[in-house]
Every structure is written in C-alpha cells, then in structure tokens.
Chain A
Amino acid sequence: MATLDLNQINKSFGSAKVLHDIDLAIQDKEFVVFVGPSGCGKSTLLRIIAGLEEATSGQIIIGGEDVSRAHPVERGISMVFQSYALYPHLSVFENIAFPLRVQKLAADDLKERVERAAGILQLTDKLDLKPGQLSGGQRQRVAIGRSIVRNPKVFLFDEPLSNLDAALRGDMRVELSQLHRQLDATMVYVTHDQIEAMTMADRIVVLNGGRVEQFGAPMELYHHPATKFVASFIGQPNMNLVPATVEGVDANGVAVSMEGGAKLVLPVDGSNVSKGDRVEVGIRPENVKLDPNGNIDISVRVLERLGGASITYGEIGDNGTKFCASLGGDAKLVEGAQARLSISVDDCHVFGEDGNVLRRKNAPELVA
C-alpha cells in the first residue's frame, strides 16, 4: 500500500483549462473522496491518477515513486468504472481473472486469487454466471473483484454507485467502507453525492471549477467550511445564506444586521471585515428551532413532513430571501402562516464578499 501525492497538476483540453494547480497529499490507507458538481474536474483528476489521461503539467507520485509518465499497470493502481465495464461475454470468474490472465499468471495461483476475491465479495456461488445474469449490486462487486485481484497500491473508484437504486446504494456504501477496512488500502473515490462523501471518507476533497476548495475530514468540512461553496455543498438540506451588513467588529466577534431585521453578534474572527461590509450569514437548517421568543421571522411557503423532521421552506425579510429550516416532525406549522425561529449565534457561519469564511470561535469540537 502507498501514499499518493499530486503536485501542481494542471489539465487543459484544447483551450479549456479543467484543472488548476492541484496539490494533494493522500496518506497510506486513507479513504479519500473527491466530491463536487458535474464538470468540476473530479473524474478527470481520477483519470489522470489512473493514467487514462495525461496531465498537461504536474507530477503524480505513488508510494514515493514518480509515475507521471508510467503505464497504469506500472503505477500499481486499479480502477472501478461507473458503468462497471464488465466483459459481457465472459463469466464472473473470467471477468475477475482478466487482469491476471493479462499477466499470464499460473493457473493454480490465478484460481486461488480469484476465489479469494470472490470470497471477500460473496460471489463464490456466482462465478459461473455471466454479468447479464447478475443484479446491479452483484455486478458492482464483480467490478471491485477485478480490481482487488491485482493487489494494487491504490484503488480508484469513479462514481461506482451512481447506477444503483437508492436502497442498494446505502447497502453498498456500508460494504465499501467495510471493504476498505478489510483490505487496508489507499482508496480514492469520486462522487457527486455529498452523502457518499460524508459517510465513507476519511478525508474529502471538494472540487469546484477545477480547483480544490477544501481538503479535510467530513466533520471539519461541516463545521469549518473554508468557503461559501463548501458550506452550501456539504450538508442536507443546503445551508441558508442570508445577506447581512457588518455593524461593528470587536473582541467578541462581528455584529451584523441581517436581512429580515435580526441583529446578532456572531463569535467569529473579524480581522478581515470592517463596519459597513456586506457579508453572508450561513445558517444550517438543522440548527434552527421553532421559538416564540426567537430572532427570525419566516413566512412558511412549503412544508415537507418527513416524519422525523419537517423541512420548512419560506422567506425572510422584505426581499424574499429564501430560508429553509429543519424542524421537529410534529412542529406546529401551517403553510402560508408566519413563524418565529431562533438560532444560536455559535452555530452561525459568516462569509466575506470573496466567499471565504470568517473563522468560527465557538464551533463544536471535532469528533473522529
């Protein structure tokens, strides 16, 4: 197993630059997820690591060895594709054995390794079937099987769960996390689904427009998003961003006057802002409570009763600023009415005009 370092990776397709100076240091046995919206360059970055695309400039170092120009096999990586890329004319056994056949491995050794992989993935009784006879989840496992028989240094996954239905995706997430623990391998996983990122990753790379927005542990991204983009990408439902004006800055934090009239003193580092600056206050829907003595008035437009929670969509202030709150399942609310909400100043994020965060002072301690 091995570390994976990317140094100053740039990639252009013609005149379109899709990756800008990507620097990442991924540790041995780490599960790292690249997440971002479509077109952010996450799949391209993975393909560059795999050797399917060549970087325009920059270095790829796997286990201390520069493999920027090396063939995928020499890099010691293996890849699981979004479409699974199984060979429909070959049996499950032959699909898993494919990389070993290429290496011309001796028959007994080959059989043993394929059976070991099949055992890990619970495919032992499916070895004689064709991919067409398997369910989506089983095909996914065959694709993973094909990647583990080679004992690669780094596993690469390109949106492997996006073709599965929601329930199966949940099961496969758990299986993949277990597999990671079992194989104790370095894994790089690409997805556009922030839930996959949050649940499986040791650390997450958030990409946007070909740049790394933030690289950190899931809870770090949740509590300390570096930019407005990360803040609104991580978390479900999305974070509310309420326009506000800075009223003053002191040792306690930044006093703001928010759209909708609330005046709050937020405990954040105010060294980069001064009175009169426009900022945005980030409030997570789940940090809001229904409270007659609260500090925000909302006109409720749509109510989604999920059972355990009521997702409340509405507007605050006179400019129709959209606001979403995740309230109790039995919260006494009606569509079209007004409600008063309260938020704790410790839960608020503040973003400057450049989109960068003002560091929170009272955020909860990070858990592993």
Chain B
Amino acid sequence: MIELTNQQALAEGARRKTLPVGLFAWLLVAPAMIFILVIVAWPLAETIRLSFMEADLGGETYVGTQNYQDLLESRKFHQTITRTFYWMFISVALKLVLGLVGATLLNAAVPGRGLFRVLVMPPWVIPIAIGCIGWLWLYNGYFGVLSGMAQRLGITDGPFEFLAYKSSAFYSAVVTDVWVGVPMVTLFFLAAMQGVSRDLYEAAWVDGAGRWYRFRRITIPQIMPVIISMSLLSAIFTFNSFEIIWILTEGGPRGATTTLIVDTYKTAIGNYKFGEGSARAVIIVVLLGAFSLAYLAFLNRINRKFGTK
C-alpha cells in the first residue's frame, strides 16, 4: 500500500480534506530548498554585499567598488592570480598524466591487480590534514627522509629545508597536492577504461594495431569525455585547494605559495578585512564560473565529436 497511484492519492487527500497537492509538493521540497538557501544562497549574497563594504571587527561602511579597484591596481594581486593559474595548470596536468598512466597500469592484466587497485586509495582516503603532516616531516631538513636521502646521495651538502625557499616550497606543495588528487583521477580513468568494449581492442588487434596505436586511437578517444570532466573537476578542486597549502606553508615563504584562496583567507580571517576578503572571494566565484562555463561548452563539443551524444 505504499505506492499509491496519483488518483488514489488525490482521492485520499480529498476525503481527508487535507492539503492541496501543489502546496504538498512545495512542502516536500522545502527542507532541501531551505538548506540550500541557508548554506549557499545566503552566504553568497552576504559575501557579495560585504565586498562593497569596508568591514572589520569595528563595523561596516559602504565604499562602493573601492575594494575591487584596489585589487585591480595591486601588483601583488596580479601576481597572486598568475601564481594561482600556474599552480592549477601544473598540478592538474600532473594529476591527469599520472592518473592516465596509473589507470593504464591498473587496467593491465597483471597478477595482484586487485591489491594495487586498493593501494591507490590511501592518499584520497586519509584525511588531508594527516597526510599533510606526514609530508611536513618528509620535507623537513633535519629529520626528513628526502633531505636525508639527498645528503647521502651527495645531491646536497647539508640539510635541505624544502619548505624554506620560494621555489622549492611551491613545487613541494604541488607534489603534495598531486599526491592527494591523483587517486580520484586514476580511479575515474580506470572506471572509464573498463567501460571500453573489449571487442574494440580485439578488432584493432586483429587489424594489426600495436599497443600504443590502440591506446592512442581507441582508449584516449573513448575515455575523452571522462578526461574532460575530470580535468574540470580537478581544476576547480586545485584552484580552491586550501588545506594543503595552509598546513605546509601558510602561503609562505614570502607569499611564494599564496594562491587566491589562501590570499582570501589571510585577508578576511587573518587580517579581519572582511570587505577586501569578500571582494577576493567574489573574484574567485566569477573566475571559476567563467572557467566552468567555457569548459562545459567545450565538453559538449567533445561529446559530440566522440559520438557519445
């Protein structure tokens, strides 16, 4: 008796003189809508409002577009944006390449494949904070295994503190970010590869296509829609990747690892400049929004091209 037909439900409602169907429907979706309004729409609106204010712990004053003008004129802010895109580009590229290589290896018929598939998971499963603290130790100059190995192999003369120099800190953060991000990309690619019909490979094999040829002309085009969606998702995650940088370097040394999201946090929460922080947050939303739209349009074209739509 759980699945009443529409008519039965209406008849039931009429008999009991209960709510009209339209109102009933609204009531059903109300909890979800309220939830979204409270945790997404309202904070977003509030952020946009704050971005036009000079706001700190002392109060709020309306300053118009001043916060945005300051940002656009700031050389430091331009550097941050460039750094953020560079960070995103290099990290996503590494994740995609490693994910593709990893998925291909995991998809190959090797003994113990099941075990390897499980071993890919930990970076993704371990809480990011705990993983990052592990990396902090790895990067440590005096106690870290990396510095130790570099010394024993004669690559460095003494202890090398990876997170103490601008360039090494940046790339160390990239490595950790890639470590966290690769498993998800790998598993999605693996799932996509397993969805490719075996017949396609057999047909190509009978026609004489070698391993690389099959990979290039069958695997890649067949999983292209997943590659595109994963690169979009991965780009957004990486752009907004905060915990990893914050735990490793807090954006330092001398701003070398300060991406847009870290800058926003430092401004709004660290320095209590809520207005200026909000302006940065709004810029992130606009940038990512534009980026996503462009990407989705591209994805549509790819899907058409590769015959999945």
Contact = CB atoms under 8 A, between A and B. Distances in A.
A51 B305 contact: no
Given A85-B197, A88-B306, A88-B308, A52 B205 contact: yes
B204 A98 contact: yes
A87 B207 contact: no
A72 to B, nearest CB: 4
A225 interface: no
A99 interface: yes
Contact of B307 (A72, A85, A88, A102): A88
A194 interface: no
Q: Which of B203, B204, B206, B305 has the most CB of A within 10 A?
A: B206
A278 B206 CA distance: 50
B199 A150 contact: no
Given A102-B213, A130-B307, A132-B307, A87 B208 contact: no
Interface string A46-79: 0000111000000000000000000111000111
Contacts of A78: 206-207
A98 B202 contact: no
A72 B213 contact: no
Contacts of B234: none
A45 to B, nearest CB: 16
Interface in A68-126: 71-73, 77-79, 81-83, 85, 87-90, 98-99, 102-103
B222 interface: yes
Contacts of B208: 71-73, 99, 102-103
Contact of A72 (B197, B200, B205, B218): B205
A307 B306 CA distance: 49
A72 B204 CA distance: 10
A131 interface: yes
B221 interface: yes
Nearest to A79: B206
B209 interface: yes
Nearest to B309: A132
B199 A85 contact: yes
Interface residues of A, number: 26
A228 interface: no
A192 interface: no
B221 A89 contact: yes
Interface in A177-234: none
Given A52-B202, A85-B199, A85-B202, A98 B221 contact: no
A89 B199 contact: no
A83 B206 contact: no
Nearest to B213: A102
Nearest to A84: B199
Interface residues of B, number: 21
B209 A72 contact: no
B197 A83 contact: yes
B224 to A, nearest CB: 8
Contact of A98 (B199, B207, B305, B306): B207
A79 B308 CA distance: 25
B218 A87 contact: yes
Contacts of B307: 88-89, 130-132
Nearest to A52: B202
B306 A146 contact: no
A102 B197 CA distance: 20
A113 B224 CA distance: 30
A79 B207 CA distance: 9
A282 B290 CA distance: 77
B213 to A, nearest CB: 6
A89 B222 contact: yes
Interface string B180-192: 0000000000000
Given A83-B199, A102-B213, A89 B206 contact: no
Contacts of B204: 98, 102
Nearest to A143: B203
A132 B308 CA distance: 8
Contacts of B199: 81-83, 85
A90 B199 CA distance: 15
A224 to B, nearest CB: 36
Given A81-B199, A81-B202, A102-B213, A89 B306 contact: yes
A47 B305 CA distance: 32
Interface string B199-234: 110111111110001000110011010000000000
Interface string A34-53: 00000000000000001110
Contacts of A71: 208
Given A72-B208, A88-B308, A89-B307, A79 B203 contact: yes
Given A131-B307, A132-B307, A87 B206 contact: no
- Pairs of residues from A and B, 6 with the lowest C-beta to C-beta distance, nearest first: A73-B208, A85-B199, A99-B207, A85-B203, A89-B306, A88-B307
28 contacts: A50-B206, A51-B206, A52-B202, A52-B205, A72-B206, A72-B208, A73-B207, A78-B206, A79-B202, A85-B203, A87-B200, A87-B217, A87-B221, A88-B222, A88-B306, A89-B222, A89-B305, A90-B221, A98-B204, A98-B217, A99-B207, A99-B208, A102-B204, A102-B207, A102-B208, A103-B208, A130-B307, A146-B203
Interface of B: 197, 199-200, 202-209, 213, 217-218, 221-222, 224, 305-308
Given A89-B222, A130-B307, 10 more contacts: A51-B206, A52-B202, A71-B208, A72-B205, A73-B206, A79-B202, A85-B199, A85-B200, A99-B207, A102-B207
